[in-house]
Structures are given as structure tokens and as C-alpha cells.
Amino acid sequence: MCAPAVTDGSIHTMEQRRLGSSDLDVPVLAFGTGTFGGAGPLFGAWGQSNEVEARRLVDICLEAGVTLFDTADAYSGGAAEQILGSALKGRRHKALIATKIGLPNADDDPNAAPAQRLTAALERSLQRLGTDHVDLLQLHAFDARIPPEILLDTLDAFVKAGKARHIGVSNYPSWRLMQSLAITDQGNHSRFCSHQVYYSLIGRGYEAELMPLGIDQQVGALAWSPLGWGRLTGKLKRGAPLPAGSRLHKTSEFAPPVPDELLFGVIDALHCIAEETGRTVPQVAINWLLQRPTVTSVILGARNEAQLRDNLGAAGWTLSHEQMRRLDDASQVLPDYPHTLYWQQGPFRQLNPPPVP
């Protein structure tokens, strides 16, 4: 049964959290620029924001206290960085910029050594963004071709040169992240303070290894696609076709598969709790993430002002313990071996972060 709706009607200041082991405080909601420029088979399918529209979205974010903007040189072939840089012109000091490099790029020199290739990629990103540094430089994906020592030496040089304040990774396997952190600590290099990960109520694979690693090693999570590639917007109905405007018509082949039983069980729970709280389904889904261990910030993706304003309503309030439990139960899937053996034992199911020192 769903309880009556309860709302407080108050306005909240955007909460700030420390990003992993760094000295950087970031808002609990960030804005992702994957829709800026809208070119390419994947990012173009998410919708498109031109420079005028992008500036309006950036304006709304800054007014709401969302000062962290995430982008990448792979988004629209660099156009997203350029559009973000243009939107922040004259107010760079008001924003925190996180960008990602490392994916194959048309501008790469195929004969360049890894350090040279990454250095050139960063320089291009800085030029497009119109800044002399980024606040967080992230490796967009794990590249087994680059020895970790060379990679870490290169990133450390970026930090020492003042071109990146902090460094992080994205979509990394747990073993390589732990290996990199161990090498860093031995060599006194700059340390990865963040991990940008796919995490949602219908995508909880992050919890098996990467979340415990983040707790132990103080690596903050920046959660992307919190609405499960558009499945948790509240528009999907059991037994009904996809809505005409759903991005899943174009992105379903990229999105991790989700069994219908799991998906609609989660959607049912979200609708019920949205009714209880007087919130929207996306707001409830994002708020659940904000209460999960290691999650520092949730990256919002919005194609228009209405979507952005709705998503911003996910912060400034909290689901009850009982509501969190119901969402946990509706979305829980046993992890793969060997974690299943431990997860089925009661005490191991609870992930309790250690106290912040």
C-alpha cells in the first residue's frame, strides 16, 4: 500500500561533499554534457543542445548550485567541450570542470607514444574549454595497452604542471584501479580520487567490488545514467510499447539489458514512493543513489529545461530508511561468483562505510 503524499515545500541549498581523498568539495548533483552538440551514433541519440540551449541549461545549473560540469573529448567529437567552454566564458571561476580523455580520437597521432597522445588530448581539451586547467581530469576507459607506471607518471605530470587539479578514472575494472592506487602510493604520485561509474536502481553491478574498494581506498563515485538509460523516467508502462519520445528507441543497443520482471518491479516501487513523498519518479530514483555509500555526486543528463528542473528536485531531502529498504529489495540482484557466496550470508549483505576521518 502507498501512504499519502508528504511534502515540505521548502527550498534547500545544494549539499556539498568531499570528493574521495581529495580536498575538493563538489555538489551532490552534477551536470553532464553528453547532449551538447549531439553528434555521433551514441551521444547524438540522447538528444541535442546547441550553444543557446546549452547556455540556458548551464545558467539554470549555476543558479541551483550545480557547479560541477562533466564533459569529454569524445562527446560530439569535442564539440561538447567547446560549447561548455563558451557557456562558461566570463564565469569560469564559478564552475568546476571535469573532462575525460583516453578514448580513441580522430585527432590522435597513431604513432605517438601513450604519454604524448594523452598530453596532446589534454591540450586540445583545454583549448576547447577555454581554460588553462580542469578541476578533475578523468581517464574515460581502461586501456590495457598502456603500462600503469607510464600512465600514472603522465597524469602526475599534468597535476604538477597545474593543468589538472585532481585525477580520476571512468568505467575501470576493480583490479586495475586497485593496482593503480598501490603503484601511486609506492611512488608518491597524484592519486585517483574519483571513479565515474554507471550506477542506478536497475544497474547495481558497481556494488560488488568497486563500492567496497571505494570505501576502503576513499575513491568517490560520480554516478552516470542514474535513470538507467531513460528507463526510470516514469514513462515506461508494463506491457506497453516504448513512448514515442523515449531515447531507448536509439540507445537500447548500448544500454545494459534489464529483465522486464526486475525493471517493472523497480518502476512499481518508484511510483508508489513517488506518490508517498509528493516527488517524481526520477527524483526518487536519484535520491536513492544520493544515499548510497561512496556516491559523492550524481551526474544529471537533460535534453531540455523541463527535464533539468525536475531532476534538480532530487536533492535537498531524503527518503526514509523504510523507503530505501523497499527500493533495495525491489532492485536487488545477486552478484556473480565469488560474491554470491558472501552476499547470501546476512552480515555480508550490508555495506557500511567507515567513519570519515
Quote the cell numbers at residue 124: 586540445
d(CA 242, CA 77): 29
pLDDT tens column, 175-231? 999 999 999 999 888 999 999 999 999 999 999 999 999 999 999 999 999 999 999
pLDDT above 90 covers a percentage of the chain that reads 72
* For residue 95, pLDDT beyond 50: yes
pTM score, whole prediction = 0.91
Complete domains list, the chain, with CATH: 16-347 (3.20.20.100)
Establish whether 199 is a catalytic residue: no
Supply the DSSP symbol for 235: -
Q: Mention every residue, 6+ apart, whose C-beta is less than 8 A from residue 245.
A: none
Catalytic position from the list 75, 172, 199, 206: 75
Mean pLDDT of all residues in 82-94: 97
Angle 247-244-52 from CA coordinates, rounded to 5°: 55
Tell me how far apart the terminal alpha carbons of the chain are, to the nearest angstrom. 41
Under a CB-based contact definition with an 8 Å cutoff, are residues 74 and 103 in contact?
Answer: yes
- Considering Cα of 307, then 310, then 315, then 321, what sign does the dihedral take? negative
pLDDT one-digit tens code per residue, 252-298: 677 788 999 999 999 999 999 999 999 999 999 999 999 999 999 99
Confidence band for 352, pLDDT divided at 50, 70 and 90: very low
pLDDT band at 45 (very low <50, low <70, confident <90, very high): very low
